Amino acid sequence: MGRLTTHVLDTARGRPGAGVQVKLFSLDGGRHLVASAVTNADGRTDAPLLDAGTFRAGSYEIEFAVGRYFADSGLDEGQPPFLGDVVIRCTLQADQNYHVPLLVSPWSYSTYRGS
């Protein structure tokens, strides 16, 4: 069985993105919340978003509440955040492991399929 993990890196400060709300939605048969977590001090969720017991192949969205993270951090200097929620839509295949890092600043983001 596969698994899905993630972490957030705050590229504006050069450190992990701690305290970011992460939600995972299945898109098969409608948009349904599957998992929810908050990143820890290392910018990672404490447990995989999907693991051997919950992993199903299909289409998903990972939603990162980066607007709130940057607003709470004070980095935006009182301005409303440019980015709100970053949503990554991906398709997961059976029996594979996925790691989806989010590299984010208040003004941009990047992601990739990690190992």
pLDDT at 76: 62
Q: What percent of the chain has pLDDT over 70?
A: 97
CA distance 107 to 80: 11
Q: What pLDDT, on a 0 to 100 scale, did the predictor assign at position 64?
A: 98
Enter the pTM of the model.
0.94
- Digit-coded pLDDT (tens) for 29-69: 999 999 999 999 999 999 999 999 999 999 999 999 999 99
Domain of residue 84, residue span: 3-111
Q: What angle do CA 29, 86, 22 make, to 5 degrees?
A: 70
* CATH number of the domain bearing residue 94: 2.60.40.180
55 near 80, Cβ under 8 Å?
A: no
Distance (Å, rounded) from C-alpha 16 to C-alpha 40? 9
60-110 pLDDT tens trace: 999 999 999 998 887 666 677 789 999 999 999 998 999 999 999 999 999
27, 79 contact by CB (below 8 A): no
Element of type H or E holding 68: helix 66-73
Q: Report the C-alpha gap between 79 and 96 in whole angstroms.
A: 41
Q: How far apart are CA 105 and CA 67, in angstroms?
A: 10
**How far apart (Å, rounded) are the C-alpha atoms in residues 19 and 38?**
6
Number of domains in the chain: 1
**Could you report the per-residue pLDDT of 66-75, keeping only the tens digit for each?**
999 998 887 6
